[in-house]
Amino acid sequence: MHFATLDYIVFIAYCILIIGIGLWVSRRKKGVETDSSDYFLAGRALPWWAIGASLIASNISAEQFIGMSGSGFALGLGIASYEWMAAITLIIVAYYFLPIFLEKKIYTMPQFLEIRFDKRVKTVMAIFWLIVFVFVNLTSIVYLGALAMEKIMGIRMIYGILGLAFFAALYSIYGGLKAVAWTDVIQVVFLVGGGLVTTYVALDYLSGGVGFIAGFKELLRIAPEKFDMIIEKGSMMIPDGKGGTKDAYIDLPGISVLIGGMWVANLYYWGCNQYIIQRALAAKSLREAQHGLVFASFLKILLPLIVVIPGMVAFALHADIGRSDEAYPWLLHNFVPTGVKGLAFAALVAAIVSSLASMMNSISTIFTMDIYREYFNKTASEKQLVKTGRIVSASALLIAIFIAPMLQNLDQAFQYIQEFTGFVSPGALAIFMAGFFYKKANANGALAAAIATFVFSLAFKFLLPALPFMDRMGVVFLLCLGLIWAFASVAGNKNHPKAIDLHKGLYNSSVGFKIASVIIVVILVILYSIWW
């Protein structure tokens, strides 16, 4: 993609702005040392709008801009269920999960598991999350981000990896969550603003210059089949990434998308994932945390316009591409004008860098608070905790830089990562849900579910390969809950001494939160009713 001088100016201005803000919010008053609460939870002082912006900036990365646009090209609007169901999930997490987490004043998800179960469960899950975060998630963010830069700008993979890593490290390792969260507020402006401009330009071109609304109507006319939210078995064949085709039902299995495994993926990701929930743990109060999540929910409704519609427009324009994932780069290359290219590229880099910085901070938080302080230095000072956090962030990033180029050997890196995470999320969600709401759940049952989620998932993958991925997650989740129930029964069906007290007044929320939640539900009902 050809960059003019104006594009470079726009992009460089964005880089300077983000680094400048990150370093500015990280500055310390003379004689005041940064403590662990400041570094890992931004001093528990984040307002709702910073929480919501940071959630979205951390969530959206290259796999959304590139991958979801590619899915929009192949599948159509149906892939937007990932975003729209997340909007409902955020409301559920805000109302039912956050009051428990914030009442316990935890730093990490493993810490909650120790409070509810025991140290064994905490340690096993902390080690597991560290392995997944470093070797799967952090590495994939670096790789897919560099891959996007290579496709769009022709930057060599290794230079893209090093550039993204250096950019994120420059402010996040020193400043911690405070730097990450406050720069995310700016990042999300670029992400949403740049993404909307790209969508506007694409739809305007499709309409012949009449405007984006006319372009949307034209898209409806040209490709009405791409607006089906519920995909029936055998109704659509899509590329399988190996030169052949497959039934789209395997990826989005009809009505079970709305009532099955996607709930498992979403509730785990938004409610039990340190990488995401850490922003809510850093809130000034429960009220601010809930308002932040409902703000993120509104943004989630908007996101398909940014990451799905461009791929559908590329389909309508008969894009000459070899793979679906090339749809977004193709649009940028062919239709986005000078100046806007710099903004669109800044939006993409903003998504990558914010996700990278957030993942590094979550890794350092879990290792420092759940492993280092527990097993290496129980009497660590605040200064030692912060220093350890910075060292861990840098170390994790170096590991990711080293491993990221190896992902080029995978045929479909993103699909592999999604499937690996899907082996884990059913069991992890079952443990948390039982920990919240089933007073008889015990530590042995939780450990059994942590192991069984892998065993059950592998068994279904090889014994029932035709079972859609989402359906498999739903079944494994239910089996893990059953296992937790069985261990409770063997233990005599007694209430666990560490069971959560769901006391009166725990589930409070503001009138504004309730009204916003109803509006979101109504919007989603309308959207699904129109494009059922």
Please report whether residue 419 resides in a domain: no
Please report whether residue 94 resides in a domain: yes
Nearest to 55 by CA among 275, 290, 287: 275
* Alpha-carbon gap, residue 338 to 323, rounded angstroms: 26
CB 293 within 8 A of CB 98: yes
DSSP secondary structure of 256-296: HHHHSHHHHHHHHHHHS-HHHHHHHHTBSSHHHHHHHHHHH
Nearest to 407 by CA among 179, 147, 167, 169: 147
Q: Which residues contact 114 (CB under 8 A, 6 or more apart)?
A: 121, 122
Please report whether residue 305 resides in a domain: yes
CATH number at residue 51: 1.20.1730.10
- Token duo for residue 43: 């001093």
Please report whether residue 31 resides in a domain: no
* Structural domain span for residue 346: 5-26+39-409
Query: How many structural domains compose the chain?
Result: 1
Please report whether residue 146 resides in a domain: yes
Please report whether residue 520 resides in a domain: no
* Alpha-carbon gap, residue 195 to 307, rounded angstroms: 7
Please report whether residue 457 resides in a domain: no
Read off the pLDDT of residues 242-293 as tens digits, 9 standing for 90 and up. 666 777 777 777 787 788 888 998 999 999 988 888 889 889 899 999 999 9
pLDDT score recorded for residue 416: 59
DSSP bridge partners of 239: 245
Read off the pLDDT of residues 410-451 as tens digits, 9 standing for 90 and up. 544 555 566 677 888 899 999 999 999 999 999 999 999 998
Whether the pLDDT of residue 239 is over 70: the answer is: no
Band (pLDDT 50/70/90 cuts) for residue 189 is confident
Please report whether residue 438 resides in a domain: no
Read off the pLDDT of residues 42-59 as tens digits, 9 standing for 90 and up. 778 889 999 999 898 888
Phi then psi dihedrals of residue 238, to 5 deg: -130, 160
What pTM value is reported for the model? 0.90
